[in-house]
Chain A
Amino acid sequence: MTLLDLKPGKSGIITKVSGNGRLRHRILDMGMYIGKKITMVKSAPFNDPVEFAMNGNHISLRRAEAQLIFIHLIDND
């Protein structure tokens, strides 16, 4: 599953970041690396972009970009 499949308040562990060079670099540089725990916070009014939290820091991704990040769902947060 990808970040897009997370419901608000649910978390996952990043398992893979796909996408091409520049975009993937940007995502990795922002601290979304394999093994990192990430939580979905909420979507913007038209469902896009989406806000996530890692270690208490918040970032936003477009749906198209969130789709590139694969995760393992973790139960009860």
Chain B
Amino acid sequence: MSGKKLKIALAGNPNSGKTSIFNALTHAHQKVGNYPGVTVEKRTGYAHFQGYSIEFVDLPGTYSLTAYSTDEKVARDYILDNKPDVIINVVDSGNLDRNLYLTTQLLEMECDIIIDMNMWDEAERLGIHIDTDRLSEMLGAPIVKTIGHRGDGVRELIQAAIDLKEGKAKYHRHAPVTYGSHIEDLVVDLTHNIRRCRSCDGCPSRRWLAVKLLEEDIQTESKFIKDRHELIRLQKSIRKKVRHVKKATGEDPDVILTDGRYGYISGILKEVVSTKIGDRMRSSRQVDSILTHKFLGYPIFFLLLWLIFQATYVLGNYPMEWIESGIGFLSQTVSGFLPDGFFSDLIIDGIIAGCGSVLVFLPNIMILFMGIAMLEDSGYMARAAFLMDKLMHALGLHGKSFIPMIMGFGCSVPAIMATRTLESERDRKMTILLIPLMSCSARLPVYVLFAGAFFGARAGNVIFSIYILGIAAAIGVAQILRNTLFRQSVAPFVMELPPYRVPTVKSVTMHMWERASIYLRKIGGVILVGSVIIWFLSSFPKPEKYSQNYEAQVTVLHEDISSKDLSTAEKEELNRKIIGLDAAKSREDIENSSIGKLGYALAPVVEPLGFDWRLGVSLVTGFVAKEIVVSTMGVLYQIGENEGDEGYSLTAALQNPVHGITPLKAYAFMVFVLLYTPCLGALSAIKREAGIKLMFFSIIYQFALAWIMAFIVYQGGKLIGLA
């Protein structure tokens, strides 16, 4: 390699086939990265061509670069700050006027662009004829025709980028977009005015800056005009002129600028495009008339969701069992290698058990995301949002919030990741805060246990009521949030309904792999650390002296079993005693450990809710993963974990009057488990998707909500004479 480097960015509208072009360019050798400081992803991929090592950056799909949304800001800031050598502007050939709108903005920034006429085959099928040579000349940018999903034209695209870089392009000039007379005069005037100022550096073009000043784009203004007096002077002179234009035209300058761009585009298109426009949706129409039917629409939607969930939990179960036995095999092997003691406990009970309990959900997550990728790629997701928007809007949410909320019943982690489909930050953050209130599958064992133990035949209804309570809480919290933290209005529902397409295997598998790798990295990071910490807290300090000499007793019992001639029933009796002693020992261990002490310290906090310290401790450990609530209680209520019918015996232990758990307390406990602080995995997802502030907010508000609700249930229940 001669070390010649080329940085190419891909920009284009959503649904212009940008991702398939990117994948073809990089042969999917891509890595997903988080753009620093922002939650929206940009993808990076690499390729080698004619001695160049090329870095491709796939910018978020945007309609415009006015920086009204996060996506647009990411795309624009990348272009401004990183100055890519070439920008490939992916354009949907069947929808030129709207797609070229972004092109005019790129041209205005005086970027070196190549226009990629993508989905060329579709345009031809629609009867659109484009004189690309003439168009290229008029826009002053090379044009390449491609068919992204087949990979046609991709080599030519890279060739064109290199030619452009080496100055060999046929048409290459920075053709300015010209506006109507009123605004054009103003732009020219302002451009001259800025020319006299020396305070702006790194700005793509003065004309562009003039346009931004007219659009009153405050961010850009302060980014490029650093001298405050200069800025104030310019703004003052603009304001006067703007008022003048407003009087003459009755419109704000930004609207006139937009009109100007569209006018410029339609002027060009009139010369180069001849078309008998057909409806590209014609084939989609019939499918759509069923899928968004007045009566059939909803049942079909729920059927599809149900299918995905069934696949997630039923199909996912098989590989889950394989992974479980794999982990079991691993910990056995390791315990065979390592001598008993501190180190082997740490590895087996801490790291392998902790990470393993999360790793087993990997198949479920991959299947869930396969389903979502298929819904998205086929174009159905947009219809689902179309169907649900009315309902969700009434709650202060967006139609697109519905899918992540439903996914929350499975697991909050993929649900929180799925909020990426929401465009506005406000809707995304609000949805993320509400998702943990949807009762995830990890909380179900707690309900099953308590409802079974204390409500008998009514258990099913009790569990159902908990789920309903979660939904009601989400609705209530949504109402509070929209009137306090999220006062901005819901994002407009101006949304494209793309034609239906058959999802490609490649794109679906890539989507799955992307999610899987994020999940795996999380296990290697936060979960690993968390498991180790919890293991330390629950193992240390060891009691200095146990109340009985457990080990001696166990040894004696073992000897009895092997030496004496006993009946099977007697042997079982002794075995049960051993298990009882082991459990009593681990109970003393836990009581004495930091977590146990924490439980005692927390007792005053949970006492008003009717919980004793044991329930308190299980809530604390449940913070790592909600599944652990039940397994902790198994230890604390002296039930051997290895016993086959542990569910039943734990039920019996809980029912034991000694512990004083009443149906009312049980219900309060279930309510608390439903609502309290999300687990570590969910919190790390919240941090990743919405930032650390919202993560802490989530911790605090959910704890408060859980406490208050459980308090109301318990104390209120006592008041009206329930027990």
Interface residues of A (CB under 8 A from B): 17, 21-31, 33-36, 42, 44-49, 51, 53, 55-62, 65
Contacts and interface: CB of A to CB of B under 8 A. Distances in A.
A32 to B, nearest CB: 8
Interface in B52-109: 63-64, 66, 68, 94-95, 97-98, 101
A26 B279 contact: no
B493 A60 contact: yes
Contact of B259 (A23, A29, A34, A57): A34
25 contacts: A25-B64, A25-B68, A30-B494, A44-B387, A44-B389, A45-B293, A45-B298, A45-B387, A47-B390, A55-B277, A56-B126, A57-B281, A58-B281, A58-B497, A58-B499, A59-B494, A59-B495, A60-B386, A60-B389, A60-B493, A60-B494, A60-B496, A60-B497, A61-B494, A62-B393
A44 B385 CA distance: 10
B386 A57 contact: no
Shortest Cβ-Cβ A-B pairs, 8 listed = A31-B98, A29-B64, A29-B63, A58-B497, A33-B262, A46-B390, A56-B279, A62-B493
Interface string B498-536: 110000000000000000000000000000000000000
A31 B97 contact: yes
A9 to B, nearest CB: 12
Given A26-B68, A65-B492, A44 B386 contact: yes
- Give the interface centre of B98, B101, B399 by most chain A CB atoms within 10 Å: B98
Nearest to A30: B494
A25 B390 contact: no
B258 A33 contact: yes
Nearest to B99: A31
A26 B101 CA distance: 12
B281 A44 contact: no
A27 B259 CA distance: 12
B564 interface: no
A24 B659 CA distance: 63
Nearest to A33: B262
B720 interface: no
B631 interface: no
B97 A55 contact: yes
Contacts of A23: 492, 494
A56 B277 contact: yes
Nearest to A42: B292
Which of under 10, 10 to 19, 20 to 34, or 35 or more describes the interface residues of B?
35 or more
Contacts of B98: 30-31, 57
Contacts of A44: 292, 297, 386-387, 389-390
Most buried by A among B255, B277, B389, B393: B255
A27 B492 CA distance: 9
A56 B97 CA distance: 12
B376 interface: no
A62 B492 contact: yes
A57 B262 contact: no
B494 A26 contact: yes
A17 B494 CA distance: 13
B270 interface: no
A35 to B, nearest CB: 8
Contacts of B386: 44, 49, 51, 60
Nearest to B388: A44
Nearest to B423: A26
B494 A65 contact: yes
Given A28-B258, A44-B389, A51-B497, A56 B292 contact: no
Nearest to B72: A29
Nearest to A45: B294
A49 B390 contact: yes
Given A44-B292, A45-B294, A48-B390, 9 more contacts: A22-B492, A31-B98, A45-B390, A49-B386, A49-B493, A56-B279, A57-B496, A59-B496, A60-B495
Contacts of A61: 492-494
Contacts of A17: 255
Nearest to A52: B497
A62 B294 contact: no
Interface string B401-429: 00000000000000000000000000000
A46 B509 CA distance: 36
A48 B292 CA distance: 12
Interface in B472-498: 492-498
B254 to A, nearest CB: 7
Given A44-B292, A56-B278, A58-B497, A28 B255 contact: yes
